[in-house]
Structure formats: structure tokens, C-alpha cells
Structure 1
Amino acid sequence: MFTSLKKKLSKSIKNRRLHVFGLFLLLSFSIWVFTKFSHTYTETATIKLNYTNLPDHKIIAMDSVPEIKVRVSAFGFRLLSYYFSNQSMNVDLEKDTYIANASYVWLANKAQKQIEERMGASIEVLSVNPDTVRFNFDTLTVKKVPVRLRSSISYALGYNSMDSLRVKPDSIKIIGTVKGVSAIDSIVTQDLKLSNVNSNIQQTVELKLPNADGQLKFSAENVKVSLKVEKFTEGTLEVPVDISNLPEDKQINYFPKTIKVFYYVSLSNYKAITASDFKIDCDFEKATSKNQTFFSPTLTVNNKFIKTAKMKQDKVEYIITE
């Protein structure tokens, strides 16, 4: 029992000694810090100059935020508080600068009061370097360029479209410097790939916008792509053969008198298609000039609702009878 009590008493004394040592150490450090930071120091502070009130038709052409080095004198405590604050200052381009040679020019001597207010009342400003800062700018221009759709569309069996893919907007405006804008003639889209399509297309497609480090602005970042898709079918018709450029003193016999035409049309317009929507022509003058004993017929489609058309044969035999 006495042994246990002795150990507890010894441990308690050691803990008290540690607490006393720690207290004296903290007190000594506090006195040292107070002594050090009570002295006056001369230091150089770095301040970033952030611009404000830039007109909409101008852009700052600088790769980094400009900085000034401010030589100051103050007690250590004041300097310590500064280093824990926001080390930047706003420059109003309309009020704090003047324009010269495509630059907004900021003068340190005219901003002396603002610098002193930024540093604080207990900090003395000794010097500012550089004493002049230029915010180089470019005047913006606007250019309208077309949007180029990159697409690959395949339809399900029996489906197609009479239209082309519609892109909205079909052009966009680019705002930037004359140099940056002049190099762009069009904007392409991301690839639109659709397969086995059997219904109307309604897609939003992103634009591939040039990476210009924020120096260019675009009126749109994506476009709407649409297309009406319909059910299609194939039809056939017998179309009469016409002979053109036949001299009045010539008579011929030719075969066949009609040619079968295959055509592809939407199901909704299938019944409206007739033989009169096609014209098959054989040019006599052209055939004889090549010493041919046959015609090479040409097919003309006169109906906008016909997607494709082709003839079953590409020769018409003829003989001159008189």
C-alpha cells in the first residue's frame, strides 16, 4: 500500500515540474516575440494590381497580373498583420489611368494615397517599383463565321429523309482581337454519329471552340441539329423514250420505246409519283457525232419528292430507216 502511494506521489511531482517548465517556456517565447516584433523593420511587399472597369470593346493583352514592389517601414506586428491579408489592389482603368500607345498607364505617384490606404495607417511607404505600370490592350472586333457540321448518319432499313440536317444557329459571332479573329473562317462541331435511325433527329452538338486563353468570346457553345425522318419505299414506272435533235429529213426506228425506272420516295408521297415526273432523252446528234449505233439515254427527274432514281438499262438501239 505504502509503495503504491509513494509511486503516485512521485508521479504527481514530476507532472507539476513539467507544467511549470512548459509555462516558463511559453512565457519566455512570448517575451521574445513581443521584443522582436516591437522593433521597426524595413521590408518589401509585393502587391498585385487587378484591373476593373474595362470597356466591353477592349481586352487586356497581358500574360500575367502586373505587380509592384512596395518598400515599407513599420513595427513587426503591423507587418505581420499585412502578410496575413489580401496582397492585391484594384486599379480602376477609367479613373486611375490614362491611355497612351494602346496601353492604360498607371502611375505610382498619383496612386500614393491609395497605396498608403492599402498598406495601412501604421505602415510608412518608402518607395514603389516600378513607378509606371502599363496595361496593354487590344480593341475587339466582331466576326460572323459559319458552323460546319461533322456528321455520319445511317438509317434503318426502309427509312430516309428528303432534307439535309438543319443546324441552328448555322453561324456564330466571334468577339476578339483583329489578329485572333481573322485566323478563323469557320467553326466545326463535335462528331455526330448516329446509326439505325428510324425517327426524327433532335440533337444538341457541342462546338469545337478554339482555345485562346480567354482572348476570344463566342455567341454560342453548341448548336441544335434536326432532321425529319420518314418511312421510304421503292417504286417502278415505265417511262417513254424521247428522241431529241433528230433532223426533219431523217427517220429512225429505236428499241425499246420505254424504259423501266426505279425510284426511291417517302411512303407519304408514293401515290403522287407518275411517269410524267421523269424524262428519258436520247440525243440523235450526239450519238451520230460519235458514230454510235445506239443511244446513251439520260434521265431527268422533275419531282422534288423523289430521293433517287435510276434506269433499268443504259442503251437504246436504233437504225436509220430513211
Structure 2
Amino acid sequence: MIRIKKSLQKRKVKIFLIFLFFSSMSWFINKLSEDYTGRAVFDVLYTNVPDSLLFVGASKDHIDVKLKASGFTFLGFGFKNKTVTIDVAKAQQEEGTYFVPRSGYQLQIEKQLPQSMEFMGVDEDDAIVLEIYSLKTKKIPVTQRLKVDYSQNFMLEGEIVIQPDSILIQGPEAMLDTIMGIQTEEKTINNITEDFKEELQLQIPENNSTIKYASTSIFVSGKVVRFSEKIIEVPITVTNTPEDFEIKLFPDTVKIVCSAKIDDLKTLHESNFKVIADCSTIQDNAQNGILLQLVSAPEMIKDVRLMSNEVRYILKRK
């Protein structure tokens, strides 16, 4: 009998708890169906920045918004990432300052809210001030830093070619005025026996994101040819001989070592060179020696040098 009474009491408690649960749920659902006024903080994302402008930041990173909606809407809204976008292209400008007035960003926020929510406004009275700069464009030269180690008997023909040899940069005018050029990375290539083309990365400063670079790398190329050496004997031309004097050189020719392409060496002649002995350079204490100067040589010669830089002389009065 006692066991039966205890079983009935437990059953009544369970039935009571079930009714209590459903009653509470009914009350909770009724409350959620009612409209409430509340607040939500939205993170602000600035978009649609014109290409002619540089956006750095703004006076507001988030906005406190007053809303009206049902409890169900607020409950679901609380689990979402609350972000609104502000169109920078719709900003106004006054005395060089860009801003979005309160009415402007309120309208943009309202359009982004779900239809189940009523926008009640924002507490802030001030406009959103944008840190924006007009962008200018400037062309700066590129300095390449490729070191080429040619194999024996090989050399560069002509000049090293940089493509492009200058690039466009874009940014605030005050910053552009401080940039005169840009260098490439350092790189070495060894034992080169043929034409080469290397890509070099530009050394773009990492701490200056306000400057935009049209390119991040350039190409360096060169034509490589085989060369040889040839010795040519050239007569020495005397200049500035003192009046009433004559000079005799010993010897009156000098040998020149030329490095160039084999085909170019075949065309060389002594008339392609000019070596002078300038008497005005003779010092009073000179020991019968006069310095030689190579004053002209063909441009196609890669390297040229005199085998002797001085000759003996005798100066006699006429």
C-alpha cells in the first residue's frame, strides 16, 4: 500500500513538471512574439573606394544602432556577425576633408537591415570623418643589381638591358616626392657563356602600404659573345712640342692589347687608334721619360690597354 502511494506521488510530480515546462514555454513564446526596442553594435566595413583615392581609416570602427523587432528576431539576430558597409564613394568633401554625414550613413544602415527589423536611429550626432588622400602617379627609375661573372674568353656585347627601366608608383603626393628611384634585389650569376635573362624582384618597402607599385619585378638581359685578344703596334703622335725644339722618341711606336669579338679583331688597324706623347706633361726633373695617353679607340673594343705607359725621348734645339 505504501509503495502504491509513493508511486502515485512520483507520477503527480512528473505530471506537474511537464505542465510547468509547457506553461513556461508558452509564456516564453508569447513574450518572444512581442515587439521590443533594443540596441546592437555593428562593425563598420568601408567599401567602394574610388581608384583615385587612398582610404587609410575612419573616425568610427563600429556604430551603436537602436532597433525595434520581435523577440524572435532579436534572438536570431544575436547569433549573426553584425556588420554594415559604408559606401566611401558617397562621401562628401569640404575644405579637403572627406566625411559621411549622419543622415547619409543612417540611410545606408537602414537599407541593410532585414525587413523584420525597424530602424530607430543612432545616438551619434557627428559625421564619420574619413582619412582619405588624393592619389598621384609618378615614374621612378629602376637600378638593377645583377652581378654577372662571365666565363673565360666570354664578354657582354653592348649594354645590359632592363625591362622596364622605370615603373609607375601611386600614392599621396607628399610621399611620392620623397621617392627618387627603386633598386632590385642583389643577385649573382656565374660562369656565363650564353645570352641571359634574369627576373629580379624590386625592393619594395614593407612598412609603407600607402604606396602602390605597378610592378614588383623587372627583367635584366644581356647578349654574351666569345672574345679573343690581339696586339697592334701603333705610331705615337707628339703634341705640344716647344718652339725651336725637336723631339725624338725611343721607340716611336707602342703596342696595344685589344680584347674584342674575333670578327671585330679581324677588322682592326693601327689607324683605328691614337696614342699621344704630350710634351706639356714633361716635368723639369723628368728622367728623359714622357707619359703616353691612349686618346681614341674603336667602341667595339671591350678592353684595351697600352703595353707600355712611357717612352724615352731626346729634346734638341733646332
For this structure pair, what is the TM-score category when the shorter chain's length is used for normalisation? Answer: 0.7 to 0.9
2:297 to 283, 296, 302: 302
Q: Kindly state the Cα deviation for residue 38 of structure 1 after the two structures are TM-superposed.
A: 4.7
Q: Kindly state the Cα deviation for residue 102 of structure 1 after the two structures are TM-superposed.
A: 2.9
| Per-residue deviation, residues 85-110 of structure 1 (Å, max 9, x unmatched) | 45333333444x32124333223334
Partner of 1:107: 101
Partner of 2:41: 46
2:204 to 194, 206, 209: 209
* In 2: Cα distance, 1:54 partner to 1:93 partner: 5
Matches within 5 A, 1:1-322: 34=29, 37-38=32-33, 42-62=37-57, 66-95=61-90, 97-131=91-125, 132-211=127-206, 214-288=209-283, 291-322=286-317
Q: State the superposition RMSD in angstroms.
A: 2.9
How many residues are paired up?
A: 299
* In 2: Cα distance, 1:301 partner to 1:191 partner: 35
Query: Which deviates further from its counterpart, 146-155 or 239-248?
Result: 239-248
Say if 1:159 and 1:231, in contact at 8 Å, map to a contact too.
yes
* In 2: Cα distance, 1:188 partner to 1:64 partner: 37
TM-score by length of 2: 0.82
Please state whether the residue corresponding to 1:229 is helix, strand or coil. Answer: strand
Say if 1:50 and 1:65, in contact at 8 Å, map to a contact too.
no
Query: Which deviates further from its counterpart, 232-241 or 111-120?
Result: 111-120
* In 2: Cα distance, 1:116 partner to 1:294 partner: 96
* In 1: Cα distance, 2:156 partner to 2:106 partner: 71
Unaligned runs of 5+ in 2: 1-17
Label 1:220 to 1:126 Cα distance change in 2 as closer, same or farther (>3 A): same
Higher strand residue share: 2
Unaligned runs of 5+ in 1: 1-22
Label 1:299 to 1:65 Cα distance change in 2 as closer, same or farther (>3 A): farther
Alignment identity in percent?
28
Q: Kindly state the Cα deviation for residue 114 of structure 1 after the two structures are TM-superposed.
A: 3.9
Amino acid at match of 2:229: E
TM-score by length of 1: 0.81
* In 2: Cα distance, 1:63 partner to 1:154 partner: 53
| Per-residue deviation, residues 111-130 of structure 1 (Å, max 9, x unmatched) | 44443342333334344143
* In 1: Cα distance, 2:80 partner to 2:208 partner: 29
Amino acid at match of 2:134: T
